[in-house]
Amino acid sequence: MDKIVNLAKRRGFTFQSSEIYGGLASCWDYGPLGVELKRNVKNAWWRDMVQARDDIVGIDCSILMHPRVWEASGHLAGFSDPLVDCRACKARFRADHLASSQCPLKPSKTAGQFEKCDLTEARQFNLMFKTFMGPVEDTASVVYMRPETAQGIFVNFKNVQTTSRQKIPFGIAQIGKSFRNEITPGNFLFRTREFEQMEMEFFVKPGDDDHWFDYWTRTRLQWYVQYGIRADRLRLRPHAADELAHYAKGCADVEYNFPIGWSELEGIASRTDFDLRRHAEYSGKDLRHFDEESREHYFPFVIEPAAGADRATLAFLVDAYDEDVADGEPRTVLRLHPALAPIKAAVFPLLRKDGQPEKAAMVYDLLRAHFAVDYDQAGAIGRRYRRQDEVGTPFGITIDHQTMQDDTVTLRDRDTMEQIRLPIDRLVAELQQRLAAPRTR
């Protein structure tokens, strides 16, 4: 993880929030390359989950919602973690994570392992961030920063269905920020207090839920493989009955083998009709679906694949990180899937003379109309390749003396390091084809 964090900082993927003021713990800003990478992750999800399907539509809800939403959803009463304080060192731990939590005292031991450790009884701590709407800070004006994007989808179920004329089964997808006042955030982007979720609620006929749960667990696991994560570093872990959330009939996590061990990347939950029923009860509105064929009213059941955009970005970074030897020199390379890579191709004039920079600038302009591209003429060509390899740029295009004679360039592949020569006027089509080609590892 340290290598990933260092690379991310050094090359402008992420910076600590408010760094010049000493930083704000567990909050991260995405730099120029990071924002492209994370945007590509979200775009891939949106394209595959919404745009490429007839049965899912999108939504973008506000972060602040009516406080009754959180009563109905159960978050106000039950969205809490058990908190334990140490009277000796003043550290705070999640009671259910004691075995994997570090005590701040040295030599390093887990929480509660020193003789002088003095842990309190566990008490429940609600994870929702509270704030006030309007100028008066009283109980009547309390609102919460949403802890999940899902509830915006449930409360808009009727609005979306009637305006999009979708028929069951169909889904509503949303990408957006969520906030949780986590007791023990950490491990870089893995657990933060402000993060982005990519959630989809799929509404089905009661009785069809097991079929769709199976469908979505398989589909979501495969999605990560499709974008280059090695299949042997992914697994599905069904939840045991005592782990299930209050609303869930079943749940399976897509887990990734992070440097911190196997951990949740995405959860797929079978939520029954809990949410729509509760919102109908608390709002007094009829949220049942009318089935035209059977002429029945019913509350649809829900299957929910819920992913984290930051956690997925971290998994793609971790999985892509590699060190090997290129042209006799050690190199660091991010083997990112081309669809996710922040920069798709870099253009290099071999020499800074003989018209090569001008020709390279022309090629750069040609390509940037289609892709995110970079131009680099500084330093030896080998070093320029290394710089791009390290940030995952899949293709390098070099303009050399032959280009000046016959308008051909070399195209280098980041992973195989193979180079082919092709005419400039075939470059766009060749890159389009290579970027669209399936590429699993």
| Residues at the interface with ligand GAP (CB under 6 A) | 148, 150, 180, 182, 191-192, 195, 197, 199, 264-267, 304, 306-308, 310-311
* Rounded least distance, CB 334 to ligand GAP, Å: 21
* Rounded least distance, CB 108 to ligand GAP, Å: 24
* Rounded least distance, CB 355 to ligand GAP, Å: 50
Pick the closer one to ligand GAP by CB: 264 or 354: 264
Cα distance between residue 225 and residue 337, in whole Å = 10
* Rounded least distance, CB 69 to ligand GAP, Å: 13
Strands (E), 205-238: 234-238
* Rounded least distance, CB 306 to ligand GAP, Å: 4
- Single-letter residue type at 307: A
Q: Is 392 left (phi over 0), alpha (psi -120 to 50) or beta?
A: left
Which of 419, 368, 394, 342 shows the shortest CA–CA distance to 36? 342
* Rounded least distance, CB 67 to ligand GAP, Å: 18
Pick the closer one to ligand GAP by CB: 310 or 374: 310
* Rounded least distance, CB 7 to ligand GAP, Å: 20
Pick the closer one to ligand GAP by CB: 182 or 415: 182
Supply the angle between the helices 2-10 and 309-320 in degrees, to the nearest 10.
Answer: 100
* Rounded least distance, CB 284 to ligand GAP, Å: 24
Pick the closer one to ligand GAP by CB: 72 or 343: 72
Q: Give the contacts of 179 (CB within 8 A, at least 6 positions apart).
A: 63, 128, 129, 145, 146, 147, 193, 194, 195
| Interior/surface letters 18-32, b for 16+ CB within 10 angstroms, e for the rest | eeeeeeeebebebbe
Pick the closer one to ligand GAP by CB: 193 or 434: 193
The CB-nearest residue to ligand GAP is: 308
Q: Is 245 left (phi over 0), alpha (psi -120 to 50) or beta?
A: beta
Cα distance between residue 336 and residue 372, in whole Å = 15
Q: Which residues does residue 398 pair with via DSSP β-bridges, in sequence order?
A: 348, 410
Pick the closer one to ligand GAP by CB: 167 or 218: 218
Pick the closer one to ligand GAP by CB: 195 or 301: 195
Cα distance between residue 158 and residue 152, in whole Å = 12
Exposed/middle/buried for residue 91 (C-beta within 10 Å: 0-12, 13-18, 19+): middle
Q: How many CA atoms lie within 13 A of 108 on its CB side?
A: 4
